[in-house]
Amino acid sequence: MRILFIVPYMPNAIRTRPYNLLRALARNGHELTLLTLAQNAAEMDDAEALRSWGIRVVARPLSRARSLANSAAALAGSEPLQAAYCWQPALAADLTTLLRGEAFDVVHVEHLRGARYGRLARNEIARSASRTPVVWDSVDCISHLFRQASVHSASRFGRAIARLELPRTERFEGQLLGEFDQILATSPVDREALAQLGNGRAVASAPIRVLPNGVDTDTFRPGAFEDREPDTLILSGKMSYHANVTMAQFLVKQVMPRIWARDPAVKVLLVGKDPAAEVRGLGRDPRVTVTGTVPDMQTFMRRATIALAPIVYSAGIQNKILEAMACGAPVVTTPAAIAGLDVRPGEHLLVADGAAEMADVALCLLNSPERRQALSSAGLAYVREHHSWLTIAQRLALIYDSR
Mean of all residue pLDDT scores within the chain: 92
Task: Characterize 58-85 residue by residue with b for buried, 16 or more Cβ atoms within 10 angstroms of its Cβ, and e for exposed.
Answer: bbbebeeebbeebbeebeeeebbbbbbb
Model confidence at 252: pLDDT above 90:
yes
Q: Which of 198-202, 234-238, 242-246, 271-275 has the lowest mean pLDDT?
A: 198-202
Per-residue model confidence (pLDDT) at position 206: 66
Report the phi/psi class of residue 54: left, alpha or beta, with left for phi > 0 and alpha for psi in -120 to 50: left
Q: How confident is the model at residue 241 (pLDDT cuts 50, 70, 90)?
A: confident
CB atoms within 10 A of CB 92: 16
Dihedral of CA 197/202/203/204: which sign? Answer: positive
pLDDT of 285 > 80? The answer is yes
Q: Residue ranges of the alpha helices (H) in 156-207?
A: 156-176, 188-198, 201-205
Strand order in the sheet with 182-185: 56-61, 31-38, 2-7, 106-110, 134-137, 182-185, 208-210
Q: Which pLDDT score is estimated for 235? A: 96
How do residues 350-400 score in pLDDT, each as one tens digit? 999 999 999 999 999 999 999 999 999 999 999 999 999 999 999 999 999
pTM summary value: 0.88
Reported confidence tier of residue 148, pLDDT bands at 50, 70, 90: confident
Inter-residue contact 249 to 154 (CB < 8 Å): yes
Q: What is the DSSP string of 195-254?
A: HHHHTTHHHHH--EEE----B-TTTS----GGGSPTTEEEEES-TTSHHHHHHHHHIIII
Cα(280)–Cα(258) distance, integer angstroms: 21
Q: Does position 205 have pLDDT exceeding 90, yes or no?
A: no
Helix H or strand E segment including 333: strand 331-333
Which residues make beta-bridge pairs with 135? 108, 182
Mean pLDDT for 125-139 is 93
Tell me what pLDDT residue 403 has: 64
pLDDT band at 200 (very low <50, low <70, confident <90, very high): low
If pLDDT is split at 50, 70 and 90, which confidence band does 204 have? Answer: very low
pLDDT of 337 reads 86
pLDDT, position 223: 82
**Of 154 and 201, more confident:** 154
Mean pLDDT of 82-93: 96
Residue-wise over 242-270: b if at least 16 C-beta within 10 A, else e?
bbbbbbbbbbbebbbebbeeeeeebbbbb
| Distance (Å, whole) CA 37 – CA 9 | 5
**Which position has the higher pLDDT, 379 or 226?**
379
Q: Is the pLDDT score of 26 beyond 80?
A: yes
Task: Determine the Cα–Cα distance for residues 231 and 148; give it in Å rounded to an integer.
Answer: 32
- In the Cβ-directed half-sphere of 9, how many Cα atoms lie within 13 Å? 17
Q: How many CB atoms lie within 10 A of CB 11?
A: 26
Written as one letter, the residue type at 337 is A
Q: What is the mean pLDDT of residues 81-104?
A: 96
pLDDT grade for 149, boundaries at 50, 70 and 90: confident
Provide mean pLDDT across the span 26-31.
94
3-state secondary structure of 342: coil
Mean pLDDT across 207-220: 91
Q: Are 383 and 335 in contact (CB under 8 A)?
A: no
Contact between 16 and 387 (Cβ < 8 Å): no
